[in-house]
Amino acid sequence: MNYIGAYFTDRYRNLINDYGYKKDEINNRVKETWNKLFTSNCPETQIFFQTDNNMGYMLDTGNNDVRTEGMSYGMMMAVQMDEKDIFDQLWLWTKTFMYMEEGENAGYFAWSCSPDGTKNSYGPAPDGEEYFALALFFASHRWGDGVVPYNYSEQAKDLLHCCIHKGDNNDGYPMWNRANKLIKFVPNVEFSDPSYHLPHFYELFALWANEIDRPFWKEAAQESRKYIAQSAHPVTGLTPEYAFYNGSPNHIRGFGHFYSDSYRVACNIALDYEWFRDNACPTVVNEKIQNFFVDKDPGDYRRYRIDGEPFEEKALHPVGLIATNAMASLATSGENARKSIELFWNTPLRTGKRRYYDNCLYFFSLLALSGNFRIYKPD
């Protein structure tokens, strides 16, 4: 590992500024974007909604439900923006309505609920759990722990312990395959989703999780970097939504192609490189992705086979793809990086029914590219 990543230096690059945009403009864009997503002043872009019981939720506007993905994303956004009230409202809603106390998924969170809190499913999605855990650690380090359920660090440790030890007593399934250290798509299957792999999160779990679990997380970080590289096409860099443990596409239900989940891989590589600069971070994947998209018309983005062959089907979240391709620039350089950031900067937030996923990716990319997606360490 190169000890020049932000974890070691506490320095975060403002890459948008490096490419010629003014700091004041960038800071204003960050604040304005937060307000457009989290306040009722901008109903055409709003995705956070408060309830009358000191709670709040992130609405998947395309599916009219509340997902652990969105709730954990909202918590991460809130801790990055130092918005403790919003963070606590999201976490209280999550614990109240999404947490499962019985059955084979006890200890996990139901991946989808109705806005009134009714569970739509009693199954979890591991991408939510891993984001919950790191957001909780950051909250603990930034604001300090409080009373249950705001004892953030203990909540994070308990959740991560469940993620890898569930099933020890034949009471369910872990979220990671404990033999190969790879995250599963859902606990009771034996395949993965490349966009779930967050080696930079696991590096931090290896420092802050229960001591007995720390070696596992260190190995998981190493194995996930390898897995991302394995699952990416050698020419295009595109990854499938679902993949087997050897990285090959899993075409179950048509999810073996490059589509909405896949966009996040570029973000994960970028932030891993920004935070840790590990020699195994597959930055070449981001170079290939940017090269693939740089000359394509954003209005004509498609679903693609990972070799780049397009389907007739248009991309469901083109703004999200613009954002993730820009965030990829944290791990690349040159003309393609510049063009990707320029396109992102000149693209507004999405409005309308499908705005939720696009605008989550947009805000994460804006935070990262402006040097505001930061690690919060314990004192």
Pinpoint the alpha helices (H) of the chain.
6-9, 15-18, 23-38, 68-80, 84-93, 126-143, 152-165, 199-208, 214-231, 264-276, 283-293, 318-327, 335-345, 355-369
69 annotated active-site: yes
CA–CA separation, 79 and 141 (whole Å):
10
> What amino acid occupies position 240?
P
Candidates 203, 223, 241, 261; catalytic one:
261
CA–CA separation, 242 and 261 (whole Å):
9
Signed CA dihedral, 223, 135, 163, 155: sign only: positive
Structure token digits, residue 31: 């604040």
261 annotated active-site: yes
State how beta strands 176-177 and 182-183 pair: antiparallel
Structure token digits, residue 41: 């002043």
Q: Among 238, 361, 350, which Cα is nearest to 290's?
A: 238
Candidates 69, 193, 213, 274; catalytic one:
69
The answer to whether 12 and 369 have CB atoms below 8 angstroms apart is no
Helix (H, G, I), strand (E, B) or coil at 312: strand
Structure token digits, residue 336: 């393609």
Structure token digits, residue 253: 């239900």
Contacts of 197 by beta carbon, 8 Å cutoff, 6+ apart: 182, 183, 224, 227, 228, 265, 268
Catalytic site positions:
69, 261
